[in-house]
Chains A and B, each alone.
Chain A
Amino acid sequence: MRPDDHSAPQPARPTPEAQSGLSGVDPGWAWAPYEPSPAIPWGVAPAAHLLRRAGFGATWQELEAARTRGPQATIDDLLREPQSYAGFAREFEVQESAAARSGDGTAFVTWWLRRLHQSPWPLLEKLTLFWHGYFAVRAPAGELRLMQEHVQLLRKHAFATFPALIGAVAADPQMYTALGGDQNRRSRPNLPFARPWLEDFTIGAEGATASALTNLARAWTGWFVYGGKLRFIEREHDPESKSLLGHEGNFGRDDAIRLLAEDPATARNLAQRLFRAFVSESASAPAALLAPIAERIARQEPMVDVLGTILRSNLFFSGHAFGQRIKSPVELTVGLVRSLEGGMPTSRVAGELANLGQRLDAPPTMRGWAGGTDWLNSITLAARLKLCLEIVRGPGQYSVGLDPAKVAARHGFNSPDTQARFLLDLLVAGPLPESAIRSLNEAGATSPRPLRSLLETIVARPEFQLQ
């Protein structure tokens, strides 16, 4: 027996008050489309919330556009492939392949960061990162090319139905090899290979009985990697009948994966993960609240519609979601630079990401990054603050040409008061306490470079870690 790696990580235990906060929420109200109201009017703050969650922060121009177009039209745009995307993707894929072939992990991550920073379709990248944490394989040393192809595959199917996505992942030689598929033989089904497909990717640990594991591994027999491609060899396939989730039949790989993907337990688990990634990390949602989302997944709606439902919802535009997530290191850094229209110090950030716990080329386990409060300990949080301060500090080692005064002026904010308001609207989720505003004013008043000092104080605020 080997150490049990598949149990962790679980979502952080919610505090009692956070839990009770969601238990009374009516699912019907929660997932109905949000309409601006006197209680929660549409404006810069909810628009910034949307663009942080559905992307990596927004420039002032993007915020203004969202404010003008309103929530539903803005979400339509976010979900739709922009015209410029195809050209962008072609150019980046060439560079990413070259970086992956070089075998240099930092170059690989650097190009990924560039993509996150520059993509005209941020929501696709956001969802791809979500899937990268969902099917979180680690590239074997020196095999970044496989990793890059895997991520490319996730990107290609990110908005598809879940059965289509997991079907493509199951046919991915990178996954197969990384999970130990090459040791799965007709004479000796490899249960550890089958385990993550059940426990992590579909029905969860409760359903992963010895019988389910054996039958799934048997269904998968006959596949081998030759020349980097998966090939099926009939005589190596176990032809006997298998039993999975109450179904009997001579299942092959694709049949078995489809059965698992279409199971209601899979939909419930995926809904929980989506909720945590897009709505809130501070509380786990009661099953009844997530039921409408799980039902959509179970009905095999494409993810573009499932995610659309989440983003358009009353719950998403409510206090249950505003500021209820901790930024991942990638969201923190890319978001900061993007909002302020600066260049991305990609190789510096790529190096720092490992320290902050988010090496994009090496997720910690198959369940990806635990996230939430697990990002932060006494060392990593201080390192995040330090990095953000360095990025905005202006001239220096990591200077990327961020000039808050210039950006503010570009958008027509010329007085100190309006410039301060501009930076707060752009960068901070939710209102700051009175004491914070006072100290921000002091920072501005006493500094020879008031706006720069203000910016430094904002990115060091605890609230800046939230989104």
Chain B
Amino acid sequence: MGSPLLLSLAPSVPWLLLRAAARGAEAPRQDRVLVVLQLSGGNDGLNTVIPFEDDAYARLRPTLRLKPAELHKLDSQLGLHPRMGAFGRLFQQGQLAVVQGVGCPDQNRDHERAMLAWQTAAPQPDGVATGWLGRATDHLWETSRPSAPALFVGDIPQPFGINAARAVVPSLRRGQEAVLFGGEAGSHGAFQDATSTVPGAGDNSMLRHIKVTLGEGQRSRARLQALAGPGSTRASYPAFGLAEDLRTIANLIRAEVGIRIFYVEMGGGGIGGFDNHANQIGNHCALLGQLSESVGAFAADLSRDRLFDRVLLMTFSEFGRTAAENGRRGTDHGVAGPVFLAGGSLRGGIHGAHPSLTDLDAGALKHHTDFRSLYAAMLEDWLQVPSKPILGRQFPGLKVV
């Protein structure tokens, strides 16, 4: 690694210089990063991306309908929820893509099974032992060793989507960024002694791996600490849990610790906060506001360091909701929903038509885009790993990257 002296000056030097210093003569890594954001509970897509010109919308949503004037217009037909101003701005900058009508054949309307289907990339998830991102992680692990290839950040048990067969995917509790790579214990003399040991000729292959891994962890820790040091420019994030998690992820991306896949969650896991069967409007407003502002801050933070073009964030929820509201100012479990992609180098805009509001599947919007086509694009076009072994067969990738 580069000189520790330079690292300690980090707060006062621009990030790009710091990165060059930390990496020494090595070429800067240009690895792309995928951030997957799970919205637990089944987000009401129809009140997220709104076809405000469609007469059916007003009929289906007598109390929940949103006023066209308050929407953030995407085009002459579609608008984003009033609280999603930051998403609207990203859209205008070409840094947001809206993929409409995403789901899978025979989508289940049970929270757990639908979530498992999305997480495993299998419409019938019985017996599937790993998540699609877990399988991608196993693939990346072959070349990322000894860096951890993936990380879950959040306060719920690790979601199944990132369950890998081989690689160990660590979890980081909210706000605990400082304990990564040993944290404070890293300055303990014993830890320093251990991590300064150099692989030797007499070492067995296990011991060599341990020593190399220790060194990599220590370098990551130093980079992360240098960036968090006093005087470093702290980007401004709103005071939401999700924003805190995304701030952590942005720091880890900046520190170039080798993590290619981040998994983050909003809604609290289980039957999550997006499950609004009654009096939906207030809660849904709050959640979409948090989502939009948190991702907006994340985008601004990374853009400032010219890192957003290496990042792609994808949201998903286990299902959409019924087109018609249910008489209790809420909506019930549905099928298709929109997926948002945010990043500095994607094909922004609207992908696919808004699902019909009159041709429904037992009251819910039908899907026209298989989530596996979306996953195929994330894997092949973004992470540049083969999608077939991960998804079970070749799906035509959406042209979003």
**How long is the Cα–Cα vector from A355 to B166 in the complex, in angstroms?**
14
Q: Is the CB of B217 within 8 A of A9?
A: no
Identify which of A2, A380, A385 contacts B191 (C-beta below 8 A): A385
Contact of A183 among B126, B165, B188, B204 (CB under 8 A): B126
Partner of A382, one of B126, B165, B171, B217: B217
Q: B179–A365 contact, CB under 8 A?
A: no
Q: Do the beta carbons of B135 and A281 come within 8 Å of each other?
A: no
Which residues of the partner chain B approach A8 to less than 8 Å between Cβ atoms?
A: 130, 138, 165-166
Decide if B228 is an interface residue (CB 8 Å cutoff).
no
User: In the docked arrangement, what's the CA distance between A372 and B181, Å?
Assistant: 20
B10 within 8 A of A: no
Known contacts A373-B209, A385-B191; A323 and B204 CB within 8 A of each other: yes
Question: Do the beta carbons of B182 and A383 come within 8 Å of each other?
Answer: yes
Roughly how many angstroms separate A376 CA and B347 CA in the complex, as a whole number? 37
- B380-401, CB < 8 A from A: 389-393
Known: A183-B126, A373-B206, A376-B210. A386 touches B182 (CB 8 A): yes
Answer whether A433 and B186 are a contact pair too, CB < 8 Å, given A377-B148, A379-B170: no
- Any chain B CB within 8 A of the CB of A253? no
A285 within 8 Å of B (CB atoms): no
A179 to B128, CA, bound (A): 10
A92: Cβ under 8 A from any B Cβ: no
Comparing B54-62, B192-200, B260-268, B310-318, the segment that makes contact with chain A is B192-200
Measured CB to CB, the nearest residue on chain B to A178 is: B127
Residues in chain A near residue B121, CB distance under 8 A: 3
Q: A381: which B residues are within 8 A, CB to CB?
A: 146, 210, 213-214, 217
Does B147 lie at the interface of the complex (its beta carbon under 8 Å from any beta carbon of A)? Answer: yes
Give Cα A63 to B166, complex, Å.
34
Complex contact B209–A354 (CB within 8 A): no
**Distance of A284 from chain B, by nearest CB (Å):** 12
B204 touches A324 (CB 8 A): yes
Rounded to whole Å, the gap between the CB of A49 and the closest CB of chain B is: 14
Q: Is the Cβ of A180 less than 8 Å from the Cβ of B126?
A: yes
* Interface size of B as a range: 35 or more
Q: Contact mask B161-202 → A, CB, 8 Å, 1/0?
A: 001111111110000000111110110111101100100101
Question: B207 an interface residue at 8 Å Cβ cutoff?
Answer: yes
Q: Is the CB of B122 within 8 A of A386?
A: no
Chain A residues bordering chain B, tally (CB within 8 A): 65
Known: A2-B122, A324-B204. A462 touches B158 (CB 8 A): no
- Residue of chain B at shortest CB distance from A9: B166
Query: Is there a chain A Cβ closer than 8 Å to B257's Cβ?
Result: yes
A357 at interface (Cβ–Cβ under 8 A)? yes
Identify which of residues 356-376 in chain A touch chain B, using a CB-to-CB cut-off of 8 Å. Answer: 356-357, 364-367, 370, 372-376
Task: Collect the chain B residues with CB atoms within 8 Å of residue A144's CB.
Answer: none
| In the complex with contacts A378-B216, A439-B193, A281-B206 CB distance below 8 A | yes
Selecting from A121-129, A231-239, A255-263, A451-459, the interface stretch reads: A451-459
B214 to chain A, nearest CB (A): 6
Across the interface, name the chain B residue whose C-beta is closest to A357. Answer: B168
Q: Any chain A CB within 8 A of the CB of B118?
A: no
- Tell me, yes or no, whether A326 is within 8 Å of chain B by CB: yes
Asked if A18 CB lies within 8 Å of chain B CBs, one says: yes
By a beta-carbon cutoff of 8 Å, the part of chain A in contact with chain B is 1-6, 8-9, 14-15, 17-18, 138, 141, 179-180, 183, 192-193, 281-282, 323-326, 354-357, 364-367, 370, 372-383, 385-386, 389-390, 433, 435-436, 439, 443, 453, 456-457, 459-463, 465-466
> In the complex, given contacts A3-B392, A382-B214, what are 16 additional A-B residue pairs having Cβ atoms less than 8 angstroms apart?
A2-B128, A5-B127, A179-B127, A180-B127, A282-B204, A377-B141, A378-B147, A382-B180, A433-B200, A433-B202, A443-B189, A457-B194, A461-B193, A462-B214, A463-B207, A466-B207
Q: Across the A-B interface, give the 6 residue pairs with the lowest CB-CB distance, nearest first.
A: A357-B168, A460-B190, A382-B182, A8-B165, A9-B166, A377-B148
Write 13 A-B pairs (CB below 8 A) sorted by A numbering: A2-B392, A3-B392, A4-B392, A8-B138, A18-B204, A325-B206, A326-B210, A376-B213, A377-B146, A377-B167, A377-B168, A436-B197, A456-B188
